[in-house]
Amino acid sequence: MSFESLGLAPALLRALAEQGYAEPTPVQAAAIPIVLEGADLLAAAQTGTGKTAAFALPLLQHLSQGPAATTRRPRALVLTPTRELAAQVHDNLRAYGKHLRIGSTTIFGGVSMGPQMQALRRGVDVIIATPGRLIDHMQQRSVDLSGIEVLVLDEADRMLDMGFLPALKRILAALPRQRQTLLFSATFAPLIKALAMQFMHEPREVSVTPPNSVATTVTHHVHPVDAASKRDLLLHVLAQDSRRQTLVFSRTKHGADKLVRYLEAAGMRAAAIHGNKSQNARTRALADFKSGRITVLVATDIAARGIDIDQLPIVINFDLPMVAEDYVHRIGRTGRAGADGMAVSLVSHEESGLLRDIRKLLKQDIAISDVAGFEPSHPLRLDAGAPRPAQGQRQPRPSGRPQGSHRPHNTSHGHGGNERPAEGNRKRQRRRRPAAKA
């Protein structure tokens, strides 16, 4: 399968070659022909599958072939849940469209409206917006959506999670009925289906990952630990390979800030990214992380959505998310586009229930092992009410791991003392890649 065979224009093929993309990812191969045909599309694809290019490429092709924009009205609207995702989609559109003359702009909150108004007045073909700020512009009549031919809802499930349904409905009501609608979502949750039924026209469906699954190239590790020792265990895990870029998840903004202070006091270069930070601070933290100026980025769930970091070798859950689905979103930051990744969770006794939910959802192995010196005083309760199973023999530490020596628990997946099947380890050692894309 090649990009040529999907029917993309030479100007796009040239840009893809310059990006170093050799062949389409599965969601691109499935979605691009459908979008080029002009059909509505409902796609289940997570971040990391190449979903952005799956809509951006045919969108650019459509815009480049259409009539010259004489009215300066925008012809396409991409809605995203977060500012970071909007900025990332914009970057991708610019990279793929660099040999075309397509104007685009982002519209999101946290920055002043003036420059956005000026860009809209000058005229653009594509708007990439978060719903709240777009509504502000609609109210100020600084945006005209009557010429929209293509609407993309990116990470629609997350937009609904964040309470954007009323905003979405208002925006949809302002768009021409005659249009193409493309909806991307990590899962086809019932609410997503309902949205599609209401606002789409006979959508074709593409699904590249089974609902609620994570990349099979990701291995999952849990280290049981007392809550009070978590910060030191985190330092210990990070110290195993301090050159690597590591994304650490914290459940709360306050917790993220506290953790960064702790890491900095221990001599690590870290920054936090969460909703209380200004847009500038978030952009700077992300840029510093990508450039390697900081090695640890501590993020909350919502802030981490949509940040574009390629092939992170490791993601650490300092605490588990309250909702199991968020674990899937978090882990989407590692093992992307076929690279191997590792998810390490530091889990206290109190979080046993959350871990049980995640195991139920994942349907994938999670290796559970103590780290020497950090053994918890209370065991995890993995099978509601059941005592912790007998422990196996201490295993030598497989190379390429960030942890200390392990004493594996029974994972109830039949691996006994082995954390991972041997094949997983071999593959990981062979294919270790550099950390983040600059």
Binding site residues, ligand AMP, CB under 6 A: 21, 24-25, 28, 47-53, 308, 310, 336-337
Residue nearer to ligand AMP on the CB measure, 309 or 324: 309
Beta strands in 251-365 (DSSP E): 270-273, 296-299, 314-317, 341-347
Residue nearer to ligand AMP on the CB measure, 253 or 336: 336
| β-strand pairing of 366-371 with 406-408 | antiparallel
Burial class from Cβ neighbours inside 10 Å (0-12, 13-18, 19+) for residue 121 reads exposed
153 close to 169: Cβ distance less than 8 angstroms: no
| β-strand pairing of 41-44 with 246-249 | unpaired
Q: Give the residue among 419, 415, 421, 410 at the shortest CA–CA distance from 387.
A: 410
Beta strands in 263-383 (DSSP E): 270-273, 296-299, 314-317, 341-347, 366-371
The alpha-carbon radius of gyration of the chain (Å, integer) is 23
Distances from the Cα of 135 to the Cα of 24, 71, 159, 169, angstroms:
35, 22, 14, 11
285 close to 294: Cβ distance less than 8 angstroms: yes
The distance of closest approach from Cβ of residue 126 to ligand AMP in the complex, given in angstroms and rounded to an integer, is 16
The distance of closest approach from Cβ of residue 98 to ligand AMP in the complex, given in angstroms and rounded to an integer, is 14
The distance of closest approach from Cβ of residue 53 to ligand AMP in the complex, given in angstroms and rounded to an integer, is 4
Q: Which residue has the tokens 């003036």?
A: 114
The distance of closest approach from Cβ of residue 196 to ligand AMP in the complex, given in angstroms and rounded to an integer, is 20
The distance of closest approach from Cβ of residue 21 to ligand AMP in the complex, given in angstroms and rounded to an integer, is 4
Residue nearer to ligand AMP on the CB measure, 176 or 292: 292
Say whether 361 sits in a helix, a strand or coil: helix
The distance of closest approach from Cβ of residue 6 to ligand AMP in the complex, given in angstroms and rounded to an integer, is 11
Single-letter amino acid, residue 150: V
- If one counts every other C-beta atom within 10 angstroms of the C-beta of residue 427, the result is 15
The distance of closest approach from Cβ of residue 38 to ligand AMP in the complex, given in angstroms and rounded to an integer, is 22
The distance of closest approach from Cβ of residue 85 to ligand AMP in the complex, given in angstroms and rounded to an integer, is 9
Say whether 218 sits in a helix, a strand or coil: strand
Residue nearer to ligand AMP on the CB measure, 14 or 121: 14
Q: Give the residue among 165, 155, 217 at the shortest CA–CA distance from 186.
A: 155
Residue nearer to ligand AMP on the CB measure, 18 or 383: 18
Residue nearer to ligand AMP on the CB measure, 96 or 327: 96
Residue nearer to ligand AMP on the CB measure, 52 or 246: 52
The distance of closest approach from Cβ of residue 332 to ligand AMP in the complex, given in angstroms and rounded to an integer, is 9
Residue nearer to ligand AMP on the CB measure, 331 or 346: 331
The distance of closest approach from Cβ of residue 152 to ligand AMP in the complex, given in angstroms and rounded to an integer, is 12
CA distance 317 to 425: 21
Residue nearer to ligand AMP on the CB measure, 45 or 355: 45
CA distance 286 to 85: 12
Report the DSSP beta bridge partners of residue 299: 249, 273
Residue nearer to ligand AMP on the CB measure, 308 or 340: 308
Report the DSSP beta bridge partners of residue 271: 297
Distances from the Cα of 250 to the Cα of 86, 379, 382, angstroms:
23, 22, 22
The distance of closest approach from Cβ of residue 202 to ligand AMP in the complex, given in angstroms and rounded to an integer, is 25
Q: Which two tokens stand for residue 363?
A: 């349907």
Residue nearer to ligand AMP on the CB measure, 48 or 224: 48
The distance of closest approach from Cβ of residue 60 to ligand AMP in the complex, given in angstroms and rounded to an integer, is 14
Say which DSSP state 228 is in: G
Burial class from Cβ neighbours inside 10 Å (0-12, 13-18, 19+) for residue 264 reads middle
Length of the chain: 438
Residue nearer to ligand AMP on the CB measure, 28 or 411: 28
